[in-house]
Structure 1
Amino acid sequence: MRKIKITAIIATVLCLSGSGCKESFLDEVPLDRFSPENLLVDEAGFETAVVALYQAAREEHTLGGVNFDYMNLGTDVAVWGRPDSRGFKDYTLLNSQFDAVNTYWDWAYRNMIRQSNLILDNINKPNVTLSPAAKASFSGQAKFFRAYAYNILATLYGGVPIVESQISEPKFDFQRSTKLEVLQFVRKDLEEAAVDLPAVTNESNGRIYKAAANHLLSEVYLSLGMETGDVTFYDKSIAAATTVISGAAGKYQLMTQRFGDLTRPGDVFSDLFWTNQQNRASGNLEVIWAWQFESFTLGGGTGTTAGINGGNNHLRLWAMEYDRIRTPNAVANISSDSLQRGIGVLIPTNYFKYDIWKLDPKDMRNSSYNIRREFYYDNPADPQYFGKKILTKKDAQGRLVVALENGTLTTQILDTARMYYPWIRKIDGLAYNNDVTAGRTSNDIIVMRLAETYLLRAEAYFRKGDKTLAAADLNTIRTRARAKLITAQDVTVDFILDERARELIIEEPRRRTLARMGVLYDRVRKYNPASAGTIKPNNALWPLPLKVIDSNTGFKLDQNPGYN
């Protein structure tokens, strides 16, 4: 992936040049060697253009800037950790000028779809010299990324305009396609990508291959089945997932034995997420697609969105403000290699922290290697307490307070919304650029892995009415976790969502999962007390950005119901 990262700077130039408007009376001769006319003629040029798509896709990670993860906040698994009403704590703030509403729309159309169209519009030109295999691969990657973006748009906004080629002059009469039409467009792109893309190779870190297209197809077929009521789409979903699970798209497998750095205490589930262990080069055959990060490497981190200075931002967002905790001698903890700086803005709900583990507390995914529930003083400036466990007790008012070894309460009240709560250890990793105070790691971010493919197939079996096979796929996941097995009678939509939370917390864009399954409103009302009082059924879809409606002067774009 070093080539992908280093090429990112050139790719950005190309991405920005891809939508320039020309005056019809000018006879332009492209002199810039990075212009599409000069660059998109051979394999090196198309590789540069495709790299821009990988870079743009990775920027999805920082669309919430330094403080937000919009795909998890305000759902059943995470609540905003600050005392104000941002972060979907108050759903009445969700309107057509809301930051996320604009940011995701712009990212999809300006970065992902535009760049995909640039590649697809140029790849069949007569002056292009590509081998059939290279042409198929570049085309497949571009179609995958275009489909990936449109699937997100359809899930978040419903029907949106479909732009399937470059726009070379101002356009003010975009029309919304229906959600079904958008999903069918996504389906077509992915079906073609699944044919064009090659099977995975061992040198495929971060690359999109045939399995990624089939994995996403399995999800899209589920959406089509629910949108149309046509149950044959569930058979298609099962077939797409089976293509990946069976090995027809290349060798993938659930990791069941420890791998990677075996000197580090852990289990096989924790091994999946440790630094430098997300890719096939480390022996991880479960990951289908991961966004790549690399410390001290040009193009190795995000850097173009909201002032982010690079790296995987998960630790900063999900970890508690550990350095605010003080010893009984009033010496503050410090950010260190093992406990880097979090800002406590995404707080797991009680549903995730406690409820879903009641079925089997010994589930591997609930082990101390995967969820840290005990903490220690880590500042050597206080030798009396350095390395000792932080002891806590409830006071008469029910507040959590730091306690002494003899049980005496101190005066330090722990803010369980920001300072002290279970730490999901998927976020652990080596500090990005060795900066433990930034709250960022160099961990690659897993976007798709085989465990979710099983979960998608289980959902398809369930929606088809075959609970026995659905339970079998769920038990495949639970067997790896050494968890109690279930029966067909246990399989419900809620159980599938519980299992997705146990397996995919932080990895999955939970908002999109709940919206796709039509349960966002109900699940937030049930499991997120901070947001339950303000969410409305119409919030399952976001509004279209006001600026998009206002600028589309040639045709009236209807707003989604419930929004102005």
Structure 2
Amino acid sequence: MKKYIFIFIAILCFGSCESFLEEDFRSGENSESIVASEETFETLINSCYVSLRAWYGKENAWDLTEVGTDLFTWGLDNRSIGFCTYETFTTDEEQDRVGAIWREFYKALNNCNIVLTRIDEVPFSSEEMREQRRAEVKYLRAHYLWLISEIWGGVHFSTEPSEGATRTANRTPVETFRAQILQDLEEALAVLPDEATGADYGRATKAATEAMLARVNLYMGNYSEASTYAQNVINNYNYQLIDDWEAIWDIDNIKNQEIIWAVNYSDDPTFTNAQFTDVDGNLFNTAGLIQREGGNQGHLMWEIRYENLSWGMVRDLENGRGFQRWAPTKYHIDLFDETIDERFYGSFKTTWYANSEDVLPKWFPFLFIDGEQIPVPMELWAEPMFAVGDTAIVFYKNPVPADQKAKRLQNEIFHLNPDKGYLMIDINDMYLEDGSLNDAVINRQFYFPITKKYQDPTRPQLATAFSKRDAYVFRISEMYLIAAEAELMQGKADVALGFINELREARSVEGKEADMMVTEDVLDIDFILDERARELATEFQRFFDLKRTGKLVERVQTYNHDAAPFIQQYHGLRFIPQSQIDAMTDGESYQNPGY
């Protein structure tokens, strides 16, 4: 029997992209034309991939997975502070963000259900291709079911296509979601090819499926299975840890040996967007969500407004178009020993170089060093402190001694290098003793290092919002972390240690491999979470990690000063968007607890 679902679910969401997503399926196609040919049906299959772009590499996803955790809080231009603090979720912006994702995921789920229900009616050129495409869509359906259940819990569940519209929805236990996820993935695993190359790069593969099985089994507490699948990926495919951390994130090296599966983007804006619809099925105005051009938006979200300092810097393509949506917590910065771990300087940009003569700072007649007035040679007065290309701004992870930094005016809030004039921003400029951001100095728009993982200086021009950077979903390093945690949770700390140290050796500064090694006595779930933060920060999992380990409230209260007063246990599930509640006859009883 056909199930009837949400008022907006029957509206199909299709887009197109380079390589295998080149067709644009139109929701006006009738049901018979969908199955009339393999070519037409392929557009429907491809549409099941497109909705991934509504999540991976988009602001909404980072709002729901990385900020408001122990790692990130809000920056000056944040448009949805509720996700950072948990204080309130009543603004239109916050409702729109969650509503857009809800609709997109359920449309994607419905598309997957249509494919799996009707694929046997299609005249495929070979049965082998039919079964491969069936397996791909089972993999995708499992992925959407996993995201839905992790974000909202036991909400509406269906494996049948919806027809028409209804104003009721079921509540299904999370265990039902999980059983279907495992079934879909295990069935896909038996069919999919080991890898996808060329025009098929980005399609579901056997390796991606085993990686997904490793992750979801870890989330479910099935530790033996999680370890087995993770080790399968480590041992049975051609993925490997790369010793050079920055090479993993090089925009010219986005298809590298660490990447098991990624959501593809392109430098052609025609082939890089997912089209959002509102509750009436009209194209959704995403301008406020920074998705109007599609593409990976990370290069915008994580960059500071360095140009606002007027210290030798103006906005340019190389340094990016900063929106400073979020800022790292002090805990996040302190996680790294930068003298031995290459992930600190490889993950955070800490130095900016002057790029404009028009805003070069000038020497004053005096400097103040540790409260003492020091004269500047007269020949330097009113001369530029440095030249274009010289260091302009430096963030220091540790405190800079007072006698090694200066001010031009005694009451100026900025420190500078007394010899070369560049701004010196140390950890005490950025944070107060309690770990909160030092708003009196940084104003949440500059004065903190920024995540380098998403920078893209290859964009056509500064104003271009989209990036061609693929959004990584599974990297081989996660498999080492999964295997380590799963073995530790089974009481096998010695086995876990091997996976941890192999990863840490690959992430060591050259010559510091021995210093990066740890011993069994430090291994516990908090160490695992710390290591996952060092490795996977901004990669769409932190909120889920804290929730699944029972550490969400504890760690947010300990490390996130902005969110500490408001975070509660019920925040582990997100609110059902008001647009969905309003569309239902029994909407008031459908909301998740606490909201």
TM-score by length of 1: 0.82
Give aligned pairs, total: 508
Question: 1:558 deviation in Å?
Answer: 4.0
Q: Which residue of 2 aligns with 1:78?
A: 72
Q: Which residue of 2 aligns with 1:5?
A: 18
Match of 1:322 among 306, 309, 324: 306
* CA shift digits 1:183-215 (9 cap, x unpaired): 112111111111221111443522220111111
Question: 1:9 deviation in Å?
Answer: 6.7
* Pair 1:415-2:442 in alignment: yes
Q: 1:38-437 maps to which residues of 2 (within 5 A)?
A: 38-61=33-56, 64=59, 69-82=63-76, 86-94=81-89, 98-99=94-95, 100-110=97-107, 112-125=108-121, 127-203=122-198, 204-225=200-221, 233-247=222-236, 250-256=237-243, 268-279=244-255, 284-296=256-268, 298-301=270-273, 304=276, 306-307=286-287, 308-327=292-311, 333-353=313-333, 355-358=334-337, 361-367=339-345, 369-381=346-358, 384=384, 385=386, 386-390=388-392, 393=405, 399-402=413-416, 405=419, 415=442, 417-432=444-459, 434-437=460-463
Distance (whole Å) between structure 2 residues aligned to residue 536 and residue 3 of structure 1: 40
Q: 1:537-548 maps to which residues of 2 (within 5 A)?
A: 537-548=569-580
Question: 1:337 deviation in Å?
Answer: 3.4
Distance (whole Å) between structure 2 residues aligned to residue 8 and residue 241 of structure 1: 29
Unaligned runs of 5+ in 1: 18-33, 226-232, 257-267
Question: 1:120 deviation in Å?
Answer: 0.6
- Aligned AA (1:81): G
Q: Which residue of 1 aligns with 2:381?
A: none
- Aligned AA (1:82): L
* CA shift digits 1:72-109 (9 cap, x unpaired): 12111111112887252331313698424323221210
Percent identity, aligned pairs only, is 25
Q: 1:436-515 maps to which residues of 2 (within 5 A)?
A: 436-438=462-464, 440-482=466-508, 484-515=516-547
CA contact (8 A) 1:80 1:347 kept: yes
Distance (whole Å) between structure 1 residues aligned to residue 499 and residue 132 of structure 2: 31
Distance 1:10 1:460, change over 3 A: same
CA contact (8 A) 1:344 1:418 kept: yes
Distance (whole Å) between structure 2 residues aligned to residue 475 and residue 536 of structure 1: 35
Unaligned runs of 5+ in 2: 1-14, 277-283, 361-383, 395-404, 430-439
- Aligned AA (1:210): K
Distance 1:218 1:95, change over 3 A: farther
Q: CA RMSD in A?
A: 3.1
Question: 1:555 deviation in Å?
Answer: 9.0
CA contact (8 A) 1:342 1:439 kept: no
Q: 1:17-36 maps to which residues of 2 (within 5 A)?
A: 17=28, 34-36=29-31
Q: Which residue of 2 aligns with 1:21?
A: none
Distance (whole Å) between structure 2 residues aligned to residue 417 and residue 556 of structure 1: 37
Q: Which residue of 2 aligns with 1:230?
A: none
* CA shift digits 1:373-424 (9 cap, x unpaired): 22222214457432222367587789444555377999x9962621121122
Distance 1:272 1:311, change over 3 A: same
Distance 1:451 1:7, change over 3 A: closer
Q: Secondary structure at the match of 1:298?
A: helix
Distance (whole Å) between structure 2 residues aligned to residue 68 and residue 551 of structure 1: 27
- Aligned AA (1:497): L
- Aligned AA (1:494): D
- Aligned AA (1:467): A
- Aligned AA (1:325): L
Comparing 447-456 and 84-93, the one that deviates more: 84-93
TM-score by length of 2: 0.78
* CA shift digits 1:124-177 (9 cap, x unpaired): 22x533422211211111111111111111111111121111111323342111
